[in-house]
Amino acid sequence: INARNENYYVYKLIKIDFLRRLKLFEESTGLIESLKNDSNFSGAAFKKAVNYQLELINKKDINEHKMPG
C-alpha cells in the first residue's frame, strides 16, 4: 500500500490485527514499532488501537475483539 494513500495507517492497523490473529506476534510487534517511529503516525484513536493490540499480543490472544469504548 502506498504511503500516500489516505488510508495507509488504517491498513497498517488492520495488518497488525491480522498478524496477531495468525499468531505472528513478532511480525505484529515489529510493525507496531515501525509505526511508533513514524513521525507521520499520529492521532489518539490510532495510538489507542496500537496500545490495545500490544495488550492482546502480550496475552498471546488471537481472538477477534472490538475496540473498547
CB contact set of 4 (below 8 Å; sequence gap of 6+): none
Task: Output the pTM of the full model.
Answer: 0.89
In the structure, what pLDDT confidence band is assigned to residue 69 with cuts at 50, 70 and 90?
Answer: low
- Dihedral angle of Cα 12, 34, 65, 54, to the nearest 10 degrees: 180
For 2-49, what is each residue's pLDDT tens digit? Answer: 889 999 999 999 999 999 999 999 999 999 999 989 988 888 888 899
